[in-house]
Chain A
Amino acid sequence: MPGLGQPLMLWSLLGLLVPVLIHLWNRKKKKPLPIGSTQFLGHRESSKFKNIQLKDKSLLLLRMLCLVLLAFLLSDPFYLKNTVEEPREIVFVDPSLPINLIADLLPIYREQGYEEIRYLSPGLPMAAELPDNRTLYPLADLLRDPLLEGKPFKLKIIHSGYFEAFSDMNWPENLYPEWVFPLDRDEHSLTWTKTGQNTTESKRTGNILRHVPTSLAADTLLSEHWVLYFHDDEKDLYKIFALALESIAEAEGIKIEIKPIDTLSVNFLLERQPHLPVYIDIDPDGEEEHWDVEIQNNRIEVRVAINAADAFLSALRHGSVVEHFGRILSKERELDLQYALPAKMDLPQPSSEELILKQSLNKASLFFEFLALLVVMLILERYLAYKKFAQR
């Protein structure tokens, strides 16, 4: 929509008076030469003279146009931001979403007019049918597909939570993502939620039992297969929780799998979230021989006491995901921070609005360069014409 961000800058249009005054002043400077009679001058003006007159006017108009454009650009018009090419819209569906959810979602998006619906699988296949391959791959790798090169794309990503961690990644300039999380947060967070440490065990159990049945009500529960991970330290609590779940699951016809996670949970997290950077914080004053692993700030954060570092790294190296680390220099005891980054995830990215503004500014600067060149050429041409005329 057209509009002006800085309407006060339109006062600079008063500057138009300057070229007009210069023009008039230049014209007045031409003092006519008194001669006996002008009857031999004739009524016909020579073509050369006409040209010069016309150029005078065109130069004035050009000067005025330059100032108008300058004032207009200074007043920050909105329309420039809309001049960017309309992006193509693609709906990407996370294939790891529950099958019944995908089956429901596809016709909904088709009805909404989205013609291009694809799965976030290698090759970005069209979502004509339910997905064959439900394996998750790093989003950065998937989006390197030739399909998404060049033109701008607006991506509507329907995801199960896994891909959300990519929102801060180094996005290609032509991709504008929109995140859609079709699941209920509470339900989904069951996988990761740890209850508070200050509550008594019985109270915590009560909370879980009160909360879970509501969350797992049949009409809101979208997944039919749940995997519940619990930490070994809290297995007693989770056993109660699991029992509660199992009874509900049986009634609802849902399959619930319960798996313990051990102290090597960093390997587990890396398997599930291979795209995330790993931040290892070695505490030189720590005495306890253990380490904590959790996802925070879109990275896997490991806090390890110094006397446990060797054991931790050794365990990590023997794990199946050690190749995800670029380098580990933790043998140096002074070192307290290590992390490795997957490819193309190193720089913060401008938002799509910033990107559009940047493109607009690029266009504006290009336009100004062109205008400046034009003005220089005209001045040069005028100078040459004047020289020729003066030599006559």
Chain B
Amino acid sequence: MIFTRLLVENFIHGAHQAVRMQPGQVFSQYRNYQPGDDLRRLDWKKYARTGKYYVIESEIDSHVEMQIVVDASASMMHQDGQFTKWQIGLLLTAASAWLGLTQGDQVEVFVLREDTCTQWKVQNGKNRFLEFLEALIQEKAGGKLNPLCFQPLLHGHRSKKMGIYISDFYEQNGEWSNYFKAAQSPFREHLALQLLGENELNFQFDSDTFLDLETGEEMEFGGKEAAQLWKEKLKRHQNYWQKAMEEYQGIFLSVPMQQALEETLRVIVTTKNKIS
């Protein structure tokens, strides 16, 4: 909790104060006219009083419904260094949720797994958030993704929704692709964050025998060409998702596990602002 709060507050220390100004309903401040500004936004009454040109600015109405979806399949137990993807994913989920709450968004968290899929409506308030965190920590990753777990994500009003998907996007039966196809809507924006370990990106494994965490399949792979082949296939996989997410009006980002969480949060905020 403390870590999440520190992380988010430290991150939004600047960003939160620098409220983005755009034309809107609620007045926020005046600003000196600059060439190129829309003349309709000039406050003529102020001009009459002061003889100077002022442009009216108002705060953006940024309230969106944030859906943080975290993959709890067995493949998320992939380890790189000290941490697993699942641990990083939980941290990212908590930080994103806190960020959303601090910005006044409605935050929902979904944990997708094989059997029971968990869903929380994260409430504002320190104690409530603490309760949410405690429940979140209890979650365990394992098994395969149940396609039925995606159903609750598709429900909802025609309100602006931003989905943040934290996963490795290693599909068994196109679960993610099917969901994104079904979830296409002008009111939805998707941000797919693919967690990847450094060892995955560079094929740095101290073994030539591998166990697929999700399928349990064992494979042997090694030799000079192995790293090259792995990287090529991974690149193809990333390109596929890049294009696919463009089709589904979303953004696909590869997030190395070692990348600073602040960096990832910045991307989330940028994307959210775009939607707004």
Cα distance A48–B225 when bound, in Å? 9
Residue of A nearest to B79 (CB): A34
A45–B77 touching, CB < 8 Å: no
**A24-38 interface with B by 8 A CB criterion:** 30-38
Categorize the interface residue count of chain A.
20 to 34
- The reply on A46 being an interface residue by CB < 8 A is yes
B234–A40 touching, CB < 8 Å: yes
- The reply on B263 being an interface residue by CB < 8 A is no
The chain B residues found within 8 Å of chain A, CB to CB, are 75-79, 85, 168, 170, 197, 200, 205-215, 217-226, 229-230, 233-234, 237
Cα distance A261–B50 when bound, in Å? 172
B219–A38 touching, CB < 8 Å: yes
Residues of B near A387 (CB, < 8 A) are: none
Q: Point out the residue from B210, B217, B237 that lies within 8 Å of A33, measured CB to CB.
A: B210
Interface of B is mostly: mixed
Which of A33, A36, A47 is most buried by chain B, counting CB atoms within 10 A of its CB?
A36
Q: Point out the residue from B78, B197, B221 that lies within 8 Å of A42, measured CB to CB.
A: B221
A24 vs chain B, min Cβ distance (A): 15
Residues of B near A41 (CB, < 8 A) are: 210, 219, 221, 226, 229-230
**A5-47 interface with B by 8 A CB criterion:** 30-42, 44-47
Q: Point out the residue from B78, B220, B223, B226 that lies within 8 Å of A35, measured CB to CB.
A: B78
Q: Point out the residue from B213, B226, B230 that lies within 8 Å of A36, measured CB to CB.
A: B213
B209–A389 touching, CB < 8 Å: no
Other A-B pairs, 4, CB within 8 Å; known A30-B207, A36-B214, A46-B226: A35-B212, A39-B233, A41-B226, A42-B230
B208 vs chain A, min Cβ distance (A): 7
B214–A37 touching, CB < 8 Å: yes
A166 vs chain B, min Cβ distance (A): 72
Cα distance A42–B230 when bound, in Å? 8
Cα distance A41–B223 when bound, in Å? 12
Residues of A near B209 (CB, < 8 A) are: 30-33
Given contacts A48-B224, A49-B221, contact A36 B170 (CB under 8 A): yes
Residues of B near A331 (CB, < 8 A) are: none
Q: Point out the residue from A33, A42, A45, A49 that lies within 8 Å of B207, measured CB to CB.
A: A33
Residues of A near B85 (CB, < 8 A) are: 36
A33–B205 touching, CB < 8 Å: yes
Cα distance A48–B222 when bound, in Å? 8
Residues of B near A31 (CB, < 8 A) are: 207, 209
